[in-house]
Amino acid sequence: MAANNPGVPHFSPVLGEVGTKLPDSLMLTGFWYRALPSDQVGRGSLHKAMLLEIPLVIGRDSDGRAFALQDACPHRGMPLHCGQFDGRQVECGYHGWKFDAQTGQCRVIPSLTADQNLKIDRIYAGNFACEERDSFIWVFVPDPAPVGAGFTRREEPAFAAPQLPTFSNQYKTAYLTAELPCTVDHGIIGLMDPAHGPFVHQAWWWRTRHSIHEKKKHFEPIPNGFRMSAHKPSSNSAPYKLLRLLANADSTTTTIDFVLPNLRLETIRAGKYWFSSLTTVTPITRNHCRIDVVACWNIFRWIPFAPSLLKFVFAKFVEQDRRTMELQSEGLKSNPHLMLIDDADRPAKWYFALKAAHLAAKQSGTEMKHPISGPTTLSWRS
């Protein structure tokens, strides 16, 4: 199954111990992706973005609603971000065709004379569903339209964009974003890799090589993904120690979910205190992705510099991961043989298995057969 699929690695996702190359990652369509941070897109401005090799122009209309159009005019392909925007319609800079920003529908073709009755409302610029959630503009990337479909009104997605769970009315939030020079697959398996912590993220307040110890974690299948079941957080890190001091030790639990195509949701709860983060690794091109982390919390709300401190710590982590993947991409240039080992790389194997199962189900038009049969325990040292 996986071997025939160009986007999925050659090794068997569940059984394969020794892998060959990870070819360029297949990017999954039919999902919501984070396109740009909300605060980068002001009213009346146009911004370039790219998702899954689709060039987009993102903007915000005069009502404050975000929109996303394909960044290529349906007339002769001029990038629309080079045009004008009056808060309602985007005007192409080449021949002045105007498109409704929210629907992409053509409104004006200046070259038409009064007796030329071209039905311009049947012309659409490529347009995408757009939602704002937790500091980001999300864009739904649909499955490719059948050949010859042309530019038409879009179909609305059947499900809403993902959202961070919050557990109280008042909380703080912050986001971080970093470009990664690797395929989305390497970005994602790096995200769920438990064994790199003591080597990549060494710090006295987090973990050191000497703090490595054996861990056992319980996992269970969830729709389109898997969950590291609620557990007490790692004992070898200072922030968690602090948290346990603040709240009742026994009440502190962490849950980590991975859900296709690219979502990692972590929730920490300690009595009335909580922290949740949603990390995504978004394919920009087949060799390039971006990691975005949004966190919300009500812990340390009364400490004046907590958001900056937390952001500093997160930024440090993300920068360490980014740097590692930059170096890794050097090594990957020669297409070396790679391997995934048990149990530390089992989440990575599950990711490939989920991806393969998702694609197989889509191809056959049947329901996805979940590759993880039931609850299971993994052990590793980290």
**Among the candidate windows 44-52, 252-260, 319-327, 371-379, which touches Fe ion by CB under 5 A?**
319-327
User: Which DSSP string corresponds to 169-211?
Assistant: S--EEEEEEEEESS-HHHHHHHHT-TTSHHHHSB-TTSB-GGG
Sequential DSSP letters for 238-273: HHHHHHHHHS-GGG-EEEEEEETTTEEEEEEEETTE
Closest residue by Cα to residue 262 from 135, 127, 141, 126: 141
Closest residue by Cα to residue 70 from 131, 127, 135: 127
Q: What is the DSSP letter of 229?
A: E
- Amino acid letter, residue 50: M
Q: Closer CB to Fe ion, residue 49 or residue 192?
A: 192
Which of residues 51 and 92 has its CB atom nearest to ligand FES in the complex?
92
By beta-carbon proximity to ligand FES, the closer residue of 121 and 342 is: 121
Length of the chain in terms of residues written: 382
CB nearer to ligand FES: give 97 or 140: 97
Residue 69 in the binding site for ligand FES (CB under 6 A):
no
With CB under 5 to 8 Å by kind, the binding choice for 124 among Fe ion, ligand FES, none is none
Please choose, out of 69-77, 143-151, 298-306, 343-351, the segment that lies near ligand FES by the rule CB under 6 A. 69-77
Segment near ligand FES (CB under 6 A), from 93-101, 192-200, 307-315, 356-364? 93-101
Cβ–Cβ under 8 Å, residues 216 and 235: no
Q: 369 touches which of Fe ion, ligand FES, none (CB within 5 to 8 A by kind)?
A: none
Site for ligand FES in 244-263 (CB under 6 A): none
Out of 43, 95, 122, 272, name the contact with ligand FES by CB under 6 A: 95
Q: How far is the CB of 115 from ligand FES (least distance, A)?
A: 21
Burial class (CB in 10 A: 0-12, 13-18, 19+), 363: exposed
Query: 99 or 258: whose CB is closer to ligand FES?
Result: 99
Buried b (16+ CB within 10 A) or exposed e, 98-111: bbbbbebbbbebee
Out of 94, 167, 317, 380, which residue is the one contacting ligand FES (CB under 6 A)? Answer: 94
Give how far the C-alpha of residue 364 lies from the chain's centroid of Cα atoms, to the nearest Å.
26
Residue 95 touches which of Fe ion, ligand FES, none (CB < 5 to 8 A by kind)? ligand FES
Q: Which residue of this chain has its Cβ atom nearest to Fe ion in the complex?
A: 321
Enumerate binding residues for ligand FES (CB under 6 A): 73, 75-76, 78, 92, 94-95, 97
